[in-house]
């Protein structure tokens, strides 16, 4: 096949991995985020808009009323607890609902309201009297397709004539029987089969095509090519909507293949900062010594909650067991858990049922647990070459300005090599990391 269809996620997305470590699975990470998210991620950055036709007026809305939605759809939106459009929705919704139809490429971090936006666009777009498929939406995995389908179903709760079908594995259909559902959501392979092999969908009758999580899509082998194959069968005048949480070059090239004459909307993620974090390091000999230091630290502080990062699953398991023996209530987030199990652990920790969360880096990428006031790097984050992984360090302990909460980060140093890493991190961020004596914790006050 096409080698470009087989792009593996690069190091930046993996945060580095080595022996005994786990690799980031982008699709799992995305699903985990969806499972634990209850509300919008706040973002104070300005939305950037690049119009296909710079001379056409630029519309944005501050309320859902302004969109002149069908009353039953508006009811569905309010029923989900949405009061007003999110940042990205303010611009994206009028564009997606415009007549004549406009194409859109939208990029913003997960949790900013993309899924809700295109679900609304699809529900608004279809003609319920026409009993054939009019909107096609593709997602990277079975689970992600189900999640998005649930949003569509919930939002369309008061639109009984609009029906949704899932083109996912295991959903066996009779060959040639044309689908009556106006919206189909599925994974690229099955959607392609339904259009060509089984002829359940007439691709020529599709008037809105949505490609969700484009960055995850191209990280999954074969999905890019399948998406392009589906896209080729669509009519010229089909409206194309393309979404991604990130936008590296490969995603951009993919977007250009799918979306002609695009309007482009971007919302940059809010930068994380170390400004409100006090950083320390502790000299230790080996893991038992690190453990003792950790217990001293924890015992001396009145901290709300702590998150502890280990390099390997094995270390995380050992530490959890040791802490539990000491009488701490500890939650463990580990790579062998299913995404649903991980979501449940994070929920418990969030609600304060456990005070300490032990995790490997990979498991907790992209999760922000606001109330955590102490982050411990039981093992320092390093890349494949053994150098400081500054990006991961920032992800672990950094905060976005909006929370403004003060926090502590404690790094366990157990060798000259790890001391060198501390120095590298200090240099990189130009922020002092102070030596801490865990038998004398006055510096932390």
Q: Which residues bind ligand ADP (CB under 6 A)?
A: 37-40, 80, 82, 85-86, 89, 110-116
Angle at 413 between CA 408 and CA 415, to 5 degrees: 170
Q: How far is the CB of 147 from ligand ADP (least distance, A)?
A: 8
Q: How far is the CB of 167 from ligand ADP (least distance, A)?
A: 20
Q: How far is the CB of 27 from ligand ADP (least distance, A)?
A: 13
Q: Which is nearer to ligand ADP, 202 or 340 (CB)?
A: 340
Q: How far is the CB of 85 from ligand ADP (least distance, A)?
A: 5
Sheet strands (E) in 84-182? 103-108, 135-138, 164-167
Q: Which is nearer to ligand ADP, 63 or 440 (CB)?
A: 63
Q: Which is nearer to ligand ADP, 107 or 207 (CB)?
A: 107
Q: How far is the CB of 229 from ligand ADP (least distance, A)?
A: 25
Sequence-distant (6+) residues with CB within 8 A of 348 are 331, 354
Q: Which is nearer to ligand ADP, 185 or 413 (CB)?
A: 185
Q: At what angle do helices 26-36 and 142-155 cross, to 10 degrees?
A: 30
38: alpha, beta or left, given left = phi > 0 and alpha = psi -120 to 50?
alpha
Q: Which is nearer to ligand ADP, 205 or 269 (CB)?
A: 269
Pairing, β 262-267 against β 47-50: antiparallel
Q: Which is nearer to ligand ADP, 113 or 149 (CB)?
A: 113
CA–CA separation, 299 and 314 (whole Å): 24
Beta bridge partners of 237: none
Q: For ligand ADP, which residue has the nearest CB?
A: 115
* Chain centroid offset of residue 354 CA: 24
Q: Which is nearer to ligand ADP, 140 or 407 (CB)?
A: 140
Overall size of the chain counted in residues: 445
Q: How far is the CB of 259 from ligand ADP (least distance, A)?
A: 18
Q: How far is the CB of 112 from ligand ADP (least distance, A)?
A: 4
Q: Which is nearer to ligand ADP, 88 or 234 (CB)?
A: 88
Q: Which of 183, 103, 102, 177 is nearest to 139 (CA)?
A: 183
Q: 83-116 in b/e burial notation, b at 16+ Cβ within 10 A? A: eebbbbbbbbbbbbbeeebbbbbbbbbbbbbbbb
Q: How far is the CB of 243 from ligand ADP (least distance, A)?
A: 7
**Tokens at residue 273, please?**
């900062």
**Tokens at residue 82, please?**
């949405």
């Amino acid at each position: 096949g096409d080698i470009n269809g087989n792009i593996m996620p690069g190091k930046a997305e993996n945060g580095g991995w080595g022996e005994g470590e786990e690799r980031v699975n982008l699709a799992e990470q995305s699903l985990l985020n969806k499972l634990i998210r209850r509300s919008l991620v706040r973002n104070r950055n300005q939305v950037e808009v690049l119009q296909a036709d710079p001379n056409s007026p630029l519309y944005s809305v501050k309320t859902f009323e302004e969109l002149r939605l069908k009353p039953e759809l508006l009811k569905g939106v309010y029923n989900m607890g949405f009061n007003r459009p999110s940042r990205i929705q303010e611009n994206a919704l009028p564009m997606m609902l415009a007549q004549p139809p406009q194409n859109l490429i939208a990029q913003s971090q997960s949790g900013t309201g993309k899924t809700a936006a295109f679900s609304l666009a699809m529900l608004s777009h279809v003609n319920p009297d026409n009993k054939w498929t009019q909107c096609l939406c593709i997602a990277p995995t079975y689970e992600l397709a189900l999640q998005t389908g649930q949003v569509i179903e919930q939002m369309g709760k008061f639109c009984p004539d609009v029906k949704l079908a899932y083109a996912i594995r295991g959903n066996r259909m009779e060959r040639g029987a044309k689908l009556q559902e106006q919206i189909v959501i599925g994974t690229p392979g099955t959607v392609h089969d339904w259009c060509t092999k089984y002829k359940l969908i007439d691709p020529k009758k599709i008037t809105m095509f949505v490609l969700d999580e484009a960055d995850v899509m191209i990280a999954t082998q074969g999905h890019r090519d399948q998406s392009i194959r589906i896209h080729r069968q669509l009519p010229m005048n089909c409206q194309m909507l393309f979404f991604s949480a990130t936008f590296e070059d490969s995603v951009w090239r993919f977007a250009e293949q799918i979306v002609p004459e695009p309007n482009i909307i971007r919302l940059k993620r809010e930068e994380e900062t170390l400004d409100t974090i006090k950083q320390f390091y502790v000299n230790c000999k080996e893991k038992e010594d690190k453990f003792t230091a950790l217990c001293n630290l924890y015992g001396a502080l009145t901290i709300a909650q702590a998150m502890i990062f280990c390099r390997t699953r094995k270390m995380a398991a050992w530490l959890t067991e040791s802490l539990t023996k000491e009488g701490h209530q500890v939650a463990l987030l580990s790579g062998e858990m299913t995404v649903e199990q991980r979501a449940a652990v994070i929920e418990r920790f969030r609600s304060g049922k456990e005070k300490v969360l032990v995790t490997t880096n990979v498991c907790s990428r992209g999760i922000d647990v606001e109330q955590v006031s102490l982050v411990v790097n039981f093992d320092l984050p390093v890349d494949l070459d053994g150098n400081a992984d500054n990006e991961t360090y920032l992800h672990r302990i950094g905060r976005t300005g909006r929370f403004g909460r003060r926090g502590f980060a404690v790094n366990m140093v157990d060798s000259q090599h790890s001391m060198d890493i501390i120095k590298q991190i200090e240099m990189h961020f130009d922020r002092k990391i102070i030596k801490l004596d865990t038998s004398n914790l006055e510096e932390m006050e």
